[in-house]
Structure 1
Amino acid sequence: MSLRVLIVVTHLLGAGHLTRAAALARAFAEAGHETVLVSGGASAQVLLDTVRMVQLPPVRTIGTDFRTLLDEAGRPVSGAYLDQRRDLLLQTLNAVRPHVLITELFPFGRRALADEFMALLEAARVMTPRPQIASSIRDILVAPSKPERVAETHRRLMHLYDAVLVHGDPELVALDASWPVSGVLRPLLHYTGYVDEGVDPVGSKERHGIVVSGGSSAAGIPLYRAAMAAAHIVDDRPWRLLIGRGVSEEDVERLMKDAPPHVSVERTRPDFRMLLASAELSISQAGYNTCVDLLRTSVRQILVPFEAGRETEQRLRADRLQAMGLARVVPEEDITGAKIADAVRNSLAAPYPQPLSLGFDGARRSVAIVESLILAAPQHHARLDWSPLSDALHRARDRGCPIRFWWRDDDAVARTPQLDRLLALAGRYQAGLGIACVPAGLEPSLAKSLRGAEGAFALVHGSSHANHAPHGEKKAEFGAHRPVTEMAKEVAEGLGRSAAMLGDRLLPVFVPPWNRITPTLVENLPQAGYRAISIFKDRTTARTAEGLAIVNTHVDPIDWHGSRSLSDPLGLIRNLTDAVERRVSGAADPEEPIGFLTHHLVHDEKVWTFCENLLVYLSRNNESFVAIDELFCNKNRIVVDT
């Protein structure tokens, strides 16, 4: 699949927005997509390789007055100047005819440029075929003070957008920490992880010295001056001040004249991350790109967040890092040489921060998300012939045989990028999800992930997922190969361990690995505390030993005996259709929901795409995967003695 991608960005103060947009553009181009980047900010040098760049007549601002737009000469822009920008933007849209249109920050920001963005979006909306439209935003936004502006943003998203790419990780900070996430917005959100193209840092074994950086704009000058004053106080280490390109030569010369011998002053360098990896301490603002560098290098951090003009983004990010024990914050309003010096002494006495397991492949993940959106879009979705399933569902309704669907996913033990994607996908379509978790391998990160996923509940997936079948027989952990007493003890211990780890996110439902279990062990499950069992086939009875409920799965999208990728999509639709028909005809229990079985850890993009296609189909036909706690009639979540 080769796409045409158009990314539109206008940076007004620093270059962070352009840097992030350029990283996305390069990632799309590297994935084989024809990519055009439109920049409406001041001309800047960015490495684009095979990406084509279109420069609009540039605009910029002074400080944080984002309402007053200036041209390159510093004059207020005229209506005719803005018309030139809009006309070139529309000409580019018509020339590229993109499959994907990405607007950086808009409609969450850039209200001063709303007219040109809205003209672009309205023109794209009526194109045939209509491109998929996404907004690209950083992890933290600055919400308007007026509620009506938030409402306006959400209306534009609902009317014009298919997705919002959030270039952050909710493990560090979720979007709703800075922006009200409504029911309209939530289904559009896709967390990509942080956009980071930097090489893995390789610093000196012995860290030494202090690095000061203030971003790319002149907004960092107060920080540089305070750091210079602090360097006169703390003079037992070398200091290096890296000055952004937006700072004038005159200001750089003043700093150089004030520098004592142990302080060097120079322009920012491409090896900034390597310098951090070799430093004892970093003093910086708390911008997006800077914090990514800091997190990747595990350097001690003093953060002086930029807060002029009611800016809250950097302070929120800095406070979050401080709360996690990763940084020390000095508020911009309190910045003096003495306070910086005190913070330096305290920071140097503290240990280096431990690395966080955050997602830093945001550019690549953005490409994968957009590709999935394209495949799930109506024009691509229509390539799959869902009519057999639609016809079967109509017949079922006509004959008074309501059909329900449920979703089970197997083999979870910890939070992983695949689990994050699974939970996000289910949450986006408000689909119930039962996650079969292996007790012996459970990690605390899984419990934390499930607590944040409203519709997802854990089920017990065997004990250790170990195969005990003799060589040459089908794999089974609980087949007729071991004493029942031994296996009964394992399943009871598995439930106890899972309950202790997962708490009220666990349902007492047993899912035997490889969907195989000897009937003699089934009879022991109620005594062990289980209330239901789930395997892979049509059930012949709704309940078994001592009222143990049975809710099975029936369709698995993976070709396990061949490619181990996606089975034939049309064949999967036939399997779903056959499952409906069996319930209508009475060949299967009409009360049993049709179970869709996935294995998130081994999904490739084809499997992920089919899963989303199925969710799209169900939602457009007023169907959904049922709530798991309701499915197993266990809203009160039975307490298990541990």
Structure 2
Amino acid sequence: MSLRVLIAVTHLLGAGHLTRAAALARAFAEAGHDTILVSGGGPALLPPLGRARLVQLPPVRTVGTDFRTLLDEEGVPVTEARMAARRDLLLETLRTFRPQAVMTELFPFGRRVLAPEFDALLEAARALAPRPLVAASVRDILVVPSKPERVEEAHGRLERFYDAVLVHGDPRLVPLEASWPVGERLRAMMYPTGYVDEGGEVAPAGRRDGIVVSGGSSASGLPLYRAALEAAGDIADRPWRILVGRGLPEAEMEALRRAAPAHATVERARPDFRALLAGAELSVSQAGYNTCVDLLRTGVRAVLVPFEAGRETEQRLRAERLQALGRAILVPEAGLSAGTLGDAIRRSLEGPPPPLLELSLDGARRSVAIVERLARAASAAIHRRLDWSPLDRALARAKDRGRSVRFWWRDDDAVAATPSLDRLLALAGRFGAGIALACIPARIEPSLAERLESEERAFALVHGFRHANHAPEGEKKAEFGAHRPPDAMAQEAGQALEQARRLLGARLLPVFVPPWNRIAPGLIPHLPRLGYRVLSTFRDRSSRSTPEGLAIVNTHVDPIDWRGTRSLADPEGLVRTLADAVERRMAGRADPDEPVGFLTHHLVHDEKVWTFCENLLVYLSRNDAIFAPVVEVLPDESRIAANR
């Protein structure tokens, strides 16, 4: 089951939150899911996202630990207009993408300053039909608000909007309870994933040498860099490499370079950081999530100086847990100096090698598996609300008789690439379903051909010429009904095929679909000489002979209540109609070789119609009866003509 997954993240200080969210986006995309990462923080250097897409909101950031004051790129407090633009783009992405799974990074456990836009996203997601699975994506350690009511506020949002909380850590190192109050309701929603490892495996060097110092991507590592350079003056028997985050201003960077002794190199952070650690004798760093994963992966000795300003407790707790397990030596930020840092470095170098910890580091893969499982369960729950037993019985009888029932899908009135068409094609693509788009030649826009180029299982049919009604007032609508001379209509039908071929090229099949499914009998004999090989309307095809060279492949079930609400017809009745179409073929009351056709009109679907279409696709996929590509349900001669 392929999913559409939306991950929303805003990093305000360092880039760790974005790095982890990007790793998840890549993992979902690599697993075959259509994935969008919405980032609300500043642009950052990331490995390629692969098939995942990035939507960048107007960025915001903070300075230091003042997370209540949001700034723009120029360091100016953000305006209401910027926040409104962020919210509008976020909601527009949700509406057009229509995800089946939404993940919010850190929220509602943090990012309270951005609560209005996250709440708007969650409300809009809850209003979708079907409602997507909603999960919070959090690291192993959280920061508890100083006010108890803030915790209750977070738990209230979990109750109202969320289905799951993915905890990207391993309880054997630190359980979520160590940093956040976990009650029964939250515990039932929690899914430990293991640590999300951004890098790959790195083979350790034959000989470890040197000290690598790193301080994260923000400017918060400056005190560590300064203390490390001082300590390097006293520990001169090894090479030092100080990797400086890109958030540190260039003036400060140059000052560090000038202060560096000859055996110490100061440079910007590098993409091969993990490889450097794998070959180093010792790492000196803060205790951020991604850095600690790198330490665990490479097995390097570690001295940790956790970031603790502004009531930040996350890194201190992680460093304490690693120290308790013999994996690192901790130097509190408040006591950081060249002396304390140098002493910790010497103790680490002189001590025994650090033990290998048996911790789960495949959090990205496991996160994908958890969301897939929960989404399947949610889809099944929606599906079970309909009584499918009439169709169950009909398909079972067909199977007992050794008969194969084929289904195909035709959608009418396509003229351009639109959000509705995107949704239709995405829905078909998720289930590997074929779809035939009956396109109106005189109204086709260039965007339609561009949109269909990459859709291997979608083909175009000729839907009349202008979709214009020529029936007299009071009669049923028809463009090619018995109201005009057959020769005049034949000329239009031939012009329609030529124009559609010119605009759509190889994606067009020589199939004529008369608007309103009505066609004058006198026009039908003209179709083969015009180049058409198939006629498609709405009824069981008749056993009466058709002109040589012309086949009939019709549709039989339309989910829209055209004469009433113009929304979804009775869903139980639609299931019975599908079952009856199958039964007629088994009983000889209809041509047993004609596939059962499902007819939709994507431009006028409301949420009820979309939901039924999705439920039907779920049902068919579970019964090995998915909509076949239209070229597979056409007669052989028509397929050959389609490929010319």
Q: TM-score range by the shorter chain?
A: 0.5 to 0.7
Asked whether the equivalents of residues 39 and 53 of structure 1 are also in contact (C-alpha less than 8 Å), the reply is yes
For 1:327, the equivalent position in structure 2 comes to 328
Residue matched to 2:276:
275
Report how far residue 277 of structure 1 moved. 1.2
Q: What's the counterpart of residue 90 of structure 2?
A: 89
1:134-190 Cα deviation digits (max 9, x unpaired): 000000000111111101100100110000000000011000000000112111100
Helix, strand or coil: the match of 2:267?
Answer: strand
Equivalent AA in structure 1 for residue 261 of structure 2: P
Name the structure 2 match of 1:412.
none
Offset, 1:298: 1.1
Distance 1:268 1:44 in 2: 12
Partner of 1:22: 22
Corresponding residue number in structure 2 for 1:41: 41
2-structure distance, mates of 1:193, 1:334: 32
Backbone CA RMSD of aligned residues: 1.5
Cα gap change, 1:384 to 1:371, in 2 (>3 Å): farther
Counterpart in the other structure of 2:5: 5
Give, in angstroms, the shift of residue 386 of structure 1.
11
Alignment partner of 1:285 is 2:281: no
User: What is the deviation of 1:382?
Assistant: 3.6
Distance in 2 (CA, whole Å) between partners of 1:71 and 1:241 is 29
Aligned match of 1:336: 337
Q: Specify the code of the residue in structure 1 equivalent to 2:211.
A: I
Corresponding residue for 2:352? 351
**Partner residue, 1:377:** 378
Would the aligned equivalents of 2:326 and 2:355 in 1 still touch at CA under 8 Å?
no
Q: Structure 1 CA distance, aligned partners of 2:286 and 2:165?
A: 26
* Distance in 2 separating the partners of 1:223 and 1:181: 34
**Secondary structure of 2:115's partner?**
helix
Distance in 2, Cα, partners of 1:44 & 1:211: 22
Tell me the SS of whatever aligns to 1:184.
helix
Query: Alpha carbons of 1:94 and 1:385: their partners in 2 closer, same or farther (altered >3 Å)?
Result: closer
**2:590 match:** none
Instruction: Return the offset for 1:384.
Output: 9.4
**Residue matched to 2:177:** 176
- Letter of the 2:59 partner, please give it: P
Which residue is equivalent to 1:153? 154
State the 1:385 CA deviation: 9.1
Distance 1:38 1:312 in 2: 27
1:51 equivalent to 2:13? Answer: no
Shift of 1:378: 5.7
Return the letter of the residue paired with 1:237. Answer: R
Partners of 2:382 and 2:323 in 1: CA distance: 45
Q: Following the alignment from structure 1 to structure 2, what is the Cα–Cα distance between the partners of residues 134 and 352?
A: 39
Q: Against the structure 1 CA distance between its residues 386 and 302, is the aligned structure 2 distance closer, same or farther, given a 3 Å change threshold?
A: farther
State the distance in 2 between where 1:356 and 1:322 align.
12
State the match for 2:69 in structure 1: 68
Aligned to 1:206: 207
2:34 maps to amino acid: E
CA displacement, residues 23-78 of structure 1 (integer Å, 9 cap, x when unaligned): 00011101111101100001123221211111111000000100000001100011
**1:263 corresponds to 2:272:** no
Distance 2:379 2:256 in 1: 58
Following TM superposition, by how much is the alpha carbon of 1:262 offset from its aligned partner in structure 2, in angstroms?
Answer: 0.7
What amino acid is the match of 1:260?
Answer: P
Identical positions, percent: 66
- Deviations 1:481-528, CA, capped at 9 Å, x for gaps: xxxxxxxxxxxxxxxxxxxxxxxxxxxxxxxxxxxxxxxxxxxxxxxx
Task: Please state whether the residue corresponding to 1:377 is helix, strand or coil.
Answer: helix
TM-aligned CA deviation for residue 383 of structure 1: 4.2
The superposition leaves residues 532-589 of structure 1 with CA deviations (integer Å, 9 ceiling, x where unpaired) of xxxxxxxxxxxxxxxxxxxxxxxxxxxxxxxxxxxxxxxxxxxxxxxxxxxxxxxxxx
Three-state SS of the structure 1 residue aligned to 2:76 is coil
CA distance in 1, matches of 2:162, 2:125: 11
1:90 touches 1:120 (CA, 8 Å); kept in 2?
A: yes
CA distance in 1, matches of 2:387, 2:67: 49
Q: What SS does the corresponding residue of 1:302 show, helix, strand or coil?
A: strand
Mapped pair 1:361 → 2:362: yes
Task: Tell me what 2:226 maps to.
Answer: 225
SS at match of 2:185: coil
User: Residues 383-428 of structure 1, C-alpha deviation per residue, up to 9 Å, x if partnerless?
Assistant: 499999xxxxxxxxxxxxxxxxxxxxxxxxxxxxxxxxxxxxxxxx
- The Cα of 1:379 is off from its aligned counterpart by 4.8
Distance 1:364 1:354 in 2: 25
2:633 aligns with none
1:443-482, CA deviations, whole angstroms, 9 ceiling, x for partnerless residues?
A: xxxxxxxxxxxxxxxxxxxxxxxxxxxxxxxxxxxxxxxx
Q: What's the secondary structure of 2:135's corresponding residue?
A: strand
What stretches of structure 1 move > 2 A for 4+ residues in a row? Answer: 378-388
Distance (whole Å) between structure 2 residues aligned to residue 307 and residue 374 of structure 1: 38
Q: Deviations over 1:116-147 (max 9, x none)?
A: 00011001101101000000000000011111
Correspondence 1:530-549 to 2 at 5 A: none
Q: Secondary structure at the match of 1:199?
A: coil
| Separation (CA, whole Å) in 2 of partners of 1:33 and 1:380 | 21
Pairing 1:555-566 to 2, within 5 Å after superposition: none
TM-score by length of 1: 0.59
> What does the per-residue CA deviation read over 1:265-303, in whole Å, with 9 as the maximum and x for residues that have no partner?
111111111111111111000000000000111111100
2 CA distance for matches of 1:209 and 1:386?
A: 68
What amino acid does structure 2 have at the position aligned with 1:191?
Answer: P
Please tell me whether the aligned partners of residues 296 and 355 of structure 1 are also in contact (alpha carbons under 8 angstroms): no
CA distance in structure 2 between the partners assigned to 1:5 and 1:149 by the alignment = 28
Q: Deviations over 1:217-267 (max 9, x none)?
A: 000000000000000011111111011111111111111111111101111
SS of 1:62's equivalent in the other structure is: coil
Task: Give 1:202-601 correspondences, 5 Å limit.
Answer: 202-377=203-378, 379-380=380-381, 382-383=383-384
Contact 1:203 1:275 in 2 (8 A): no
The corresponding residue for 1:520 is none
Given residue 266 of structure 1, which amino acid in structure 2 is its aligned partner? E
Whole-angstrom CA distance in 2 between matches of 1:250 and 1:51: 36
Alignment match, 1:552: none
1:572 is matched with none
Contact 2:198 2:290 in 1 (8 A): no
What is the CA distance between 1:380 and its match in structure 2? 4.3
Structure 2 residue aligned with 1:119:
120
Q: Paired residues, what number?
A: 388
Does the aligned pair in 2 maintain the 1:211–1:242 contact within 8 Å? yes
Q: 1:135·1:165 contact (CA, 8 Å) conserved in 2?
A: yes
Aligned to 1:143: 144
Q: Which has the larger radius of gyration?
A: 2
5+ unaligned residues in a row in structure 2: which ranges? 390-644
Cα distance between partner residues in 2 of 1:88 and 1:198? 31
Letter in 1 for 2:4: R
Kept in 1: contact 2:20–2:198 (CA 8 A): no
Say whether the 8 Å CA contact 1:374–1:380 is kept in structure 2: no
Deviation per CA, 1:308-331, whole angstroms, max 9, x where unpaired?
000000000000000111110000
